[in-house]
Structure 1
Amino acid sequence: MTANTPGQASANPRLADVARAGVSIWLDDLNRPMLTSGELGRKVAELGVVGVTTNPTIFAAALTQGGAYDQQVAQLAAEGADVESAVWALTTRDVQDACDVLRPVFDATDGVDGRVSIEVDPRLARDKQGTLDMARRLWQSVDRPNVMIKIPATVEGLPAIAEAIAEGINVNVTLIFGIDRYRGVMNAYLTGLEQAREHGRDLSRIHSVASFFVSRVDSEVDQRLQQLADGEHADQARALAGKAGIANARLAYQAFEEVFSTPRWANLGDDGAHKQRPLWASTGVKNPEYPDTMYVTELIAPETVNTMPEKTLQAVADHGEVTGDTIVGQYEQSASTLDDLERLGISYTQVVEQLEQEGLTKFEASWEELLESVDGELQRAGAE
């Protein structure tokens, strides 16, 4: 059975086309009602979902909607749990249950899919040792072979990623915006695999994905292009709107092809290692004027993952048009798009650096939001 068989078996022909093209369909959403109602299982069976990614914002929203968490929160309050330990207990339980739902996919795809990601506290993103320590604790606490630990791709995070991989921890590297940083991520992965081999680990059991963010690039670049809308370069600016995110991702795939065709990789692959697949993240369209499936249908290529918010998944199921590989063969045009932006004074380096910093700030704010939500629920349960 191939990695994408569950998607190919989807009752939805459009999503089945996505999977047949080599794209693993993951859902960027998880909550307890989705688990207890069997909704996640139905998405696996009917829509070809073969993985799940989570984040603190999703957990925080789920916690305050309905009473799905009330019993566990009441128990934690009765035990005198503090906020941090309560967050840990609530989120790891959901991830464990999701891992169990997706275990058949994991088994059928030999560990390529059937994955559920959970995030290290983003406040540790600049703390290599703190990140590594929490990644180890999450790995041990969830205690499922199909969990992936999300680690941000900061400069400080790269050595933590390498060490986690060396220890056999499966990693979803998140918050990647720029090609240079992405190459650093792939290097960290290969370094980790080399160290794992030195430690005598079975490389075939180690998996990783690299989450390359897409729509946020367009949001930032489009904002800068808008400032040129009334100047002498207005026509060029309008023509480039909505083009940067996809061009950037396509060039990331070119880098993926290059790195995973080197002798260094071949040596590891011969020993059973798996490629670190690119995962297209932030694929919900933020500008309503753009096609709501563009970050899926324009980023189709083998050995990729697309983690879709619910709204995007349903849009692709309803009207997504898959025309085959839309990445390979587009590299020259993609590089030209970024060059055109530079000529207009929009610095690629400046954009991706700003997006990383803003992304970390948003991640931290989401974590604080989750802590506040759990604290409120604990206090409410304690008062009852």
Structure 2
Amino acid sequence: MTTHHNDPLADLSASGVSVWLDDLSRELLESGDLDALIADKHVVGITTNPTIFASALAHGDRYEAQLRKLAEAGSSVEDTVFVLTTDDVRSACQVLRPVYDRTDGVDGRVSLEVDPGLAHDAAATVDRARELWAAVDEPNLLVKIPATAEGLAAITAVIGDGISVNVTLVFSLDRYREVLDAYLTGLEKADLEGRDLTAIHSVASFFVSRVDTRVDALLDPIGTSRALAVKGKAALANARLAHRIHEEVAASARWDRLAGTGARLQRPLWASTGVKNPDYPDTVYVSELAIPGTVNTMPGSTLAAFADHGTVPATRVQDTYAAAADVFAELARLGIDYDDVVATLEREGVRKFTDSWDELGKTVGGRLRQLAAG
């Protein structure tokens, strides 16, 4: 690997990791900051979520003129949120279009979430995904669908329609296997319908730091030296074992047949990579998951930290699988129920996104009422 002096993000990119930003706002778009991140910080994609949009709308004045027009037209809160978010994502897609073209569609991607309140309604999720795809009308969009049990059927249906998907809120290894299966089933459906599989892309957003937050909170009360010795290890172990599943699918006969038709393998995307425990290195979920062929989407603070002092270890991920399995064996011996941990994280993840979506609606509704009142 070529070493780029004083440019850790260049090293990360050269290692085969796609650097994406977990942030989007009209300020970022209109100020030229996004262009600068692409040019100078090796950013080749963007993810969004309801929390990010809620913050952007609550704290940014660049939405004011459009909100005023929508208020005067009597636009509903739901329609206004739809217009504002799809407009921002469309603009970001256009900014990133040269990256998309240069990488043959692998990067240059922008994600937009289906209303998380629909996470347990497959049919409604499919309908909204189609609406978002049509409204943004850019080939480098990824529609985000939560990896709930109901979301799996929606993922298959949407991929079958030829819509590219970012599967979000993946915590469990078993669920990740189901996500990969849903993606392959969708590709097989699209193939039967004669669609161009080369145009369909997907990432699976495997959440990282929240696993440590949850597991560490269970280890602290145990308090033994054995318990404290595995603090901060569960998240990386979980992600590394997820990558092993990805490799198993990539080596399967089922995938081999689809690859022969030009299909693109779904890539693992490491999400929730900002460190929540200040005792841990602030770039640990980036440097320790610097795996070729993966995506790391970082909040701005983590991106800046890695740009300043990040490193790319020489260790191959395949050499970490045995130790990762040992972490979970030790957690089980300590009485930590993995299935309960990941089920809790999925429920909390959907709830947090739904709460943020509701907060976004309240913010927009308040502004519409103020502007309509003059």
Runs of at least 5 residues in structure 1 that lack an aligned partner in the other structure: 1-7
Report sequence identity in percent. Answer: 56
Tell me which residue corresponds to 2:299.
309
Structure 1 residues 155-164 or 321-330, which shifts more? 321-330
Q: Which amino acid aligns with 1:122?
A: P
TM-score between the two structures when normalised by the length of structure 1: 0.95
Tell me which residue corresponds to 1:125.
119
Check 1:12–1:50 CA distance in 2 against 1; reply closer, same or farther (3 A cut). farther
Tell me which residue corresponds to 1:340.
330
Whole-Å separation in 1 of the counterparts to 2:6 and 2:89 = 26
- Secondary structure in structure 1 of the residue aligned to 2:59: coil
Please say if 1:14 is aligned against 2:8: yes
> For residues 7-35 of structure 1, what are the alpha-carbon distances to aligned partners after superposition, in whole Å with 9 as ceiling and x for unaligned?
x9999620011111111000000000110
CA drift of 1:64 comes to 2.0
TM-score between the two structures when normalised by the length of structure 2: 0.98
Tell me which residue corresponds to 2:215.
221
Tell me which residue corresponds to 1:299.
289
Q: 4+ residue stretches of structure 1 with deviation over 3 A?
A: 8-12
Q: Which amino acid aligns with 1:291?
A: P
Aligned positions, number: 373
Tell me which residue corresponds to 1:95.
89
The correspondence for 1:240, drawn from 221, 230, 236, is: 230
The correspondence for 1:139, drawn from 121, 133, 144, is: 133
Whole-Å separation in 2 of the counterparts to 1:324 and 1:186 = 28
CA drift of 1:66 comes to 3.6
Please say if 1:371 is aligned against 2:367: no
Please say if 1:263 is aligned against 2:245: no
Check 1:382–1:312 CA distance in 2 against 1; reply closer, same or farther (3 A cut). same
CA drift of 1:62 comes to 1.1
> For residues 246-297 of structure 1, what are the alpha-carbon distances to aligned partners after superposition, in whole Å with 9 as ceiling and x for unaligned?
0000000000000111010010001101110000000000000100000000
Tell me which residue corresponds to 2:169.
175
Tell me which residue corresponds to 2:352.
362
The correspondence for 1:202, drawn from 196, 199, 202, is: 196
Please say if 1:327 is aligned against 2:317: yes
Whole-Å separation in 2 of the counterparts to 1:274 and 1:9 = 29
Q: Is the 8 A contact 1:131 1:157 kept in 2?
A: yes
The correspondence for 1:64, drawn from 58, 63, 68, is: 58
> For residues 164-215 of structure 1, what are the alpha-carbon distances to aligned partners after superposition, in whole Å with 9 as ceiling and x for unaligned?
1011000000000010000000000000111111000111110000000000
Whole-Å separation in 2 of the counterparts to 1:363 and 1:51 = 21
Q: Is the 8 A contact 1:203 1:271 kept in 2?
A: yes
Q: Is the 8 A contact 1:29 1:310 kept in 2?
A: yes
Whole-Å separation in 2 of the counterparts to 1:138 and 1:12 = 40
Runs of at least 5 residues in structure 2 that lack an aligned partner in the other structure: none
CA drift of 1:324 comes to 3.1
Q: Is the 8 A contact 1:12 1:46 kept in 2?
A: no
Q: Which amino acid aligns with 2:98?
A: P
Residue pairs, 1:17-36, within 5 angstroms: 17-36=11-30
